[in-house]
């Protein structure tokens, strides 16, 4: 998104976890004049110093309470399994009227749990910008990361209308198309179109490793790979810690979805066993039509 953005939505923003998403959001806030001050909180000082150097944050603090108590917007950009412990640690310090949000790809019950952990005078708005790279860390952050992406907000019956409007405006200025979705529906949808594909990519790489064991030692299978393997498994290079937390947090949906995926593999396997040429063509044609819908 280009142009001028005269509005300042927030006086001080605290970003808990200044990695790829948190850092990119910090760059948006600074470059587009949405916040007067952006404070970072994280575990590694070297990473926070780099975040200051690239302009993602103005300064950083060691203890989140120090920044949170003076902020009107707090963003959780850490692994999703840390959200509750974070909020339980500094939630009582959140000023009255402040908005707490996140960038996590799992919502569901977590949204309601975080809401309940905050003081009634503060407001939580779940948000999930569907953007990223297979590379993590603030070194790869960019204010263009969210341009043209979709951001899902997940309000509940308890969500403050003004807080929701501010979060929506933030992501609109960041360049995203903002849509609203029930937190539970969000986890079903993203489980199917994001979490399951990652599991498929991880598993394919493991399958290739198994096949390597039955390949002559002088030959490395990966040395002979082309664009198909790279395109199919690009997301297998994602952060192990982040995807551990996502998979476990959404495991109830993913257990069912993995069963569906296995059933499709078994169906294709049966076509091969039967030597069913027309069945193989039909299967691939149907997949091709569905894939073309992605654009």
Residues 263, 166 within the same domain:
no
Provide the pLDDT for residue 279.
Answer: 98
d(CA 267, CA 103): 37
0.85 exceeded by pTM: yes
Q: In which residue are the tokens 């982040």 written?
A: 242
Provide the pLDDT for residue 18.
Answer: 95
Q: Which helix (H) or strand (E) holds 76?
A: strand 73-76
CA distances from 206 to 200, 202, 211, 246 (A): 10, 7, 9, 19
Provide the pLDDT for residue 238.
Answer: 87
Across the chain, which has 295 residues, the per-10-residue mean pLDDT values are 64 96 96 95 92 95 92 96 94 96 96 96 97 80 95 97 97 97 98 97 97 89 92 92 92 98 98 98 97 89
Among 181, 215, 248, which residue terminates a domain?
A: 181
User: CB of 160 within 8 A of CB of 168?
Assistant: no
Residues 211, 100 within the same domain:
no
Provide the pLDDT for residue 3.
Answer: 47
DSSP 135: S
Provide the pLDDT for residue 2.
Answer: 43
> Domain containing 264 — which CATH number?
1.10.3660.10
- 153 — phi, psi (to 5°)? -100, 145
- The 10s digit of each residue's pLDDT in 5-59 is 557 899 999 999 999 999 999 999 999 999 999 999 998 899 999 999 999 999 9
- How many C-alpha atoms does 267 have within 13 Å on its Cβ side? 11
Provide the pLDDT for residue 137.
Answer: 87
Provide the pLDDT for residue 136.
Answer: 75
**Which residue segment(s) compose the domain that 201 sits in?**
185-292
Residues 149, 24 within the same domain:
yes
> How many separate domains does the chain show?
2
> Domain containing 22 — which CATH number?
3.40.50.720
CA distances from 147 to 74, 85, 190, 203 (A): 22, 31, 20, 31
Residues 65, 44 within the same domain:
yes
Residues 66, 17 within the same domain:
yes
Residues 65, 169 within the same domain:
yes
Among 181, 209, 238, which residue terminates a domain?
A: 181
List the alpha helices (DSSP H) in the chain. Answer: 20-31, 45-54, 64-68, 83-90, 109-117, 161-173, 183-190, 196-212, 227-233, 240-249, 251-274, 277-292
d(CA 103, CA 151): 9
Residue 191 in any domain: the answer is: yes
Neighbours of 109 (CB within 10 A): 12
| Secondary structure of residue 240 in the 3-state scheme | helix
Q: Which residues pair with 76 in a beta bridge?
A: 16, 102
Provide the pLDDT for residue 6.
Answer: 55
Q: What token pair was written down for 276?
A: 């069913």
Residues 177, 211 within the same domain:
no
Q: What token pair was written down for 106?
A: 């799992």
Which three-class secondary structure string do you get for 18-70?
CCHHHHHHHHHHHHCCCEEEEEEECCCHHHHHHHHHHCCCCEEECCHHHHHCC
């Amino acid at each position: 998104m280009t142009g001028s953005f005269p509005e300042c939505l927030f006086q001080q923003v605290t970003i808990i976890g200044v990695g790829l998403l948190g850092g990119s959001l910090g760059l948006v806030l600074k470059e587009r004049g949405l916040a007067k001050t952006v404070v970072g909180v994280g575990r590694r000082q070297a990473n926070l110093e780099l975040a200051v150097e690239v302009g993602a944050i103005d300064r950083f603090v060691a203890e989140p309470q120090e920044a949170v108590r003076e902020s009107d917007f707090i963003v959780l950009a850490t692994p999703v399994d840390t959200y509750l412990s974070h909020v339980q640690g500094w939630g009582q310090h959140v000023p009255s009227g402040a908005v707490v949000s996140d960038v996590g790809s799992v919502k569901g019950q977590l949204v309601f749990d975080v809401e309940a952990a905050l003081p009634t005078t503060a407001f939580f708005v779940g948000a999930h910008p569907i953007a990223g790279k297979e590379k993590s860390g603030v070194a790869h952050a960019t204010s263009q990361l969210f341009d043209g992406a979709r951001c899902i907000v997940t309000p509940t019956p308890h969500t403050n209308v003004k807080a929701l409007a501010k979060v929506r405006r933030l992501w609109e200025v960041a360049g995203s198309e903002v849509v609203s979705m029930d937190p539970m529906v969000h986890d079903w949808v993203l489980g199917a179109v994001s979490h399951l594909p990652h599991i498929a990519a991880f598993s394919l790489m493991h399958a290739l490793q198994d096949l390597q064991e039955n390949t002559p030692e002088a030959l490395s299978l990966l040395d002979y790979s082309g664009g198909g393997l790279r395109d199919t498994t690009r997301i297998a290079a994602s952060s192990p810690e982040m995807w551990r937390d996502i998979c476990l947090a959404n495991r109830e949906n993913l257990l069912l979805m993995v069963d569906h995926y296995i059933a499709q593999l078994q169906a294709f396997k049966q076509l091969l066993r039967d030597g069913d040429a027309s069945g193989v063509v039909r299967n691939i044609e149907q997949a091709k039509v569905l894939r073309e819908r992605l654009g």
